[in-house]
Amino acid sequence: MASAEETSPPPAGWARLGEPARAAPRRRLFRKYALIFVALVGAALLINSGFDFWFSYQETKAALVRVQQEKAASAAQRIAEFVEEIKSQIGWTTHAQWSAGPLDQRRQDYVRLGRQVPAITELSQLDGEGKEQLKVSRLAMDTVGSEADFSQSPAFIEAKAHRVWFSPVYFRKESEPYMTLAMARDGRNAGVTVAEINLKLIWDVITALKIGQGGYAYVVDGRGRLIAHPDLSLVLRDTDLSKLPQVAAALNPQPGQAAVSTADNLAGHAVLTAHALIPQLGWRVFVEAPLSEAFAPLYYAAIRTGLLLVFGLVAAALVALLLARRMTGPIRAIAEGAERIGAGDLGGRIDVHTGDELEGLAQQFNRMTADLQKSYAELEQRVADRTAELSEALDQQTATSEVLGIISSSPGQLQPVFEAIVGSAVGVCAGTWGVLVLRDGGGFRGVATHGVGPHFAETISRIHDPPEGTTLHRLLAEPRASQLLDVATEPAYDPVRAVNPEYAQVRTHLCVPMLKENELLGAILIYRDRVLPFTDKQIDLVESFAKQAVIAMENARLISETREALEQQTATAEVLGVINSSPGDLAPVFDAMLEKAMRLCEAPFGVMLRFQDGKFTIAAARDLPPAFGHYLQTMDQPRGGEMLTQLQSGAPYVHTIDMKDDDAYRGGAPLRRAVVDLAGARTAVVVSLR
């Protein structure tokens, strides 16, 4: 502390009071600094521990509720499957064939169903008027033909209206929970099958759930009455749980109200609770665990945290005692120097010579001041560079979002997607022109352009084979992105400039392939009218646009295939409908088949011929040109080389792309000449009926 006293000499009056007088201020400052340090550290530890405990409590509670919610959902699913299995087992008794069977057979089927599904205690068959025709019961005598009238019962009315009806839970003899399941049978004015289901068997599902040591699960119906519980006696006593807060909140949820996660159970003990709904029944499965058990690990963690807090406070006190002895003298000089730096005076320096850490701290302040002077000189440029980068990234993200928006808003339509992709690629790359081309046969065909002139667009839209040495030609051998710094110096592009004079303005050129599993589908071409290389970021972004174009093409293909398959299925169904509605009458069937075939093939006319007694005759015809129709009615048998003779030779079908450019036409085959000359047809498909 000697150096501190040298930098801040005590007043002369202190020396006259002697040594005790000089020691008193140091002891007061020492105690004050130590207490403040301990208070700050202690407050920080307390606040940190409090927040840590609170967040840990909330996270643990949320995790436990989530686990219990999953268990409740699993139990609800199993109960729903249990009910659906019973519904499925009863379902075969609703078939029209079954209800038409002998009475003894139906009674035996009911008995067999009761053995297969122990939960079913009673089965009744009601006819279409609601009269009971058969009842098989485990708990009462079987009855046959009682004609008891159930036409006004909810089971009969609801089943006839909705096919399946689940009754509210009721308790037989005020002890065992039951539910009525009614299912309407197939057929007009068919009856209803009614089953009484014992819900005690759900107890197995509930007792199988393991929730810690003291956890449990239970099920209540839509009125809050207990249906299943590990303690079966509570179920048999028809316990009403609708007054429990968690059950009441689940049965009557209020808008904006959070689900009850902690509440008291039936015994008055605090529990952590979660529930899941069984939608088709309106029941709810609750899973609960005692709070003391659920939060036991958290309580132990709180004790450990408290012990660590005490240890931290003790350590803070010791550290405060040590630091207070060292940090009382030159603090003011350092503080004043820091204030000058904070005020913007970067030319001053802190002058402290204590030979310890405080002197090192002062030197660090001095170095920091020098670094700040240097940093301020570079700060504005860095901010400008960073702003430019952020602006570029924002433009790229905006362009990508716009392309994705057009893709999502134009399913199956490729042209707007291609145009948006080319426009966005030109924009983010600061290009002048852009073209998107697709593979067509062995060459390429432009399908979308941006910024090019009409002649350029018309030229690129035609199928062309790229000259050797151009980027498009190199894509055929090695499909990867490439750029040319100056196209004007490339002789390979002389043929392109000869055909398209506008290409003479192109300087820097980028070519990015559109690939699907290494198959070249097309490419995106970006041009600049100046020599300026494209950056790696720009190339990566255009490659992402190329991938989006491929995805859009694949989506369009899938949509087209789905639409075509749907049209084919619809046509087949319509033909089958005509067949079913015209038994023994072939004319409408043939006409329907021909009409659907023409629609699927997008053909302007068609004819169906029958081969009888060694010759072809017209079975159906649609939209035939008159001259060609007259020819078919009077034609001779087809000669060799005709499509019909190929069918006679065993071919399942014959597809001719251009009938005019064919040996049969050039050889003067009468039918081929008539189809081309009289009907004006060029492409035809002929399918045999075998």
**Span 450-490, pLDDT tens digits:** 888 888 888 887 878 888 888 888 888 888 888 998 988 88
CATH 2.60.40.10, domain 410-560, yes or no:
no
Residue 198: which residues within 8 A CB-CB, separation 6 or more? 118, 119, 120, 121, 176, 177, 178
CA-to-CA distance for 150 and 132, rounded, in angstroms? 7
Whether residue 207 is predicted with pLDDT greater than 70 in this model: the reply is yes
Residue 512 binned pLDDT confidence (cut-offs 50, 70, 90): very high
Percentage of the chain modeled with pLDDT above 70: 83
Q: What is the pLDDT of residues 270-329, one digit of tens each?
A: 888 888 888 878 888 888 888 877 777 777 777 777 777 788 777 777 776 676 666 666
Largest CA distance in the chain: 147
CA-to-CA distance for 155 and 164, rounded, in angstroms? 9
User: Mean pLDDT across the stretch 367-371?
Assistant: 80
Whether residue 153 is predicted with pLDDT greater than 90 in this model: the reply is no
Domain locations in the chain as residue ranges: 95-202, 410-560, 582-687
Handedness of CA 539, 543, 546, 552 (dihedral sign): negative
DSSP codes of every residue in 221-257:
-TTSBEEE-SSHHHHHTT-B-TTSHHHHHHHSPPTTP
Domains 95-202 and 410-560 share a fold: yes
CA-to-CA distance for 484 and 467, rounded, in angstroms? 15
User: Mean pLDDT across the stretch 219-237?
Assistant: 82
CA-to-CA distance for 524 and 177, rounded, in angstroms? 71
User: Mean pLDDT across the stretch 581-596?
Assistant: 73
Tokens of 372: 């700040």
Question: Residue 293 to residues 71, 215, 245, 302, 688: CA-CA distances in angstroms?
Answer: 17, 9, 21, 15, 78
Whether residue 84 is predicted with pLDDT greater than 60 in this model: the reply is yes
Q: Which helix (H) or strand (E) holds 686?
A: strand 684-687
Average model confidence (pLDDT) for the chain? 78
Q: What is the pLDDT of residues 229-240, one digit of tens each?
A: 888 778 777 788
Q: How far apart are the first and last CA of the chain?
A: 115
Radius of gyration of the chain (CA): 45
- The strand ranges marked E within 413-562 are 433-440, 443-450, 482-484, 509-516, 519-527
Among the four given CATH numbers 3.40.50.300, 3.90.78.10, 3.30.450.20, 3.40.50.2020, the one describing domain 95-202 = 3.30.450.20
Range in 15-19, 183-187, 433-437, 513-517 with the lowest mean pLDDT: 15-19
Handedness of CA 347, 351, 352, 355 (dihedral sign): positive
**Strands 509-516, 519-527: pairing kind:** antiparallel
CA-to-CA distance for 163 and 280, rounded, in angstroms? 13
Higher pLDDT, 482 or 333: 482
Contact (Cβ atoms closer than 8 angstroms) between residue 399 and residue 538? no
Whether residue 511 is predicted with pLDDT greater than 90 in this model: the reply is yes
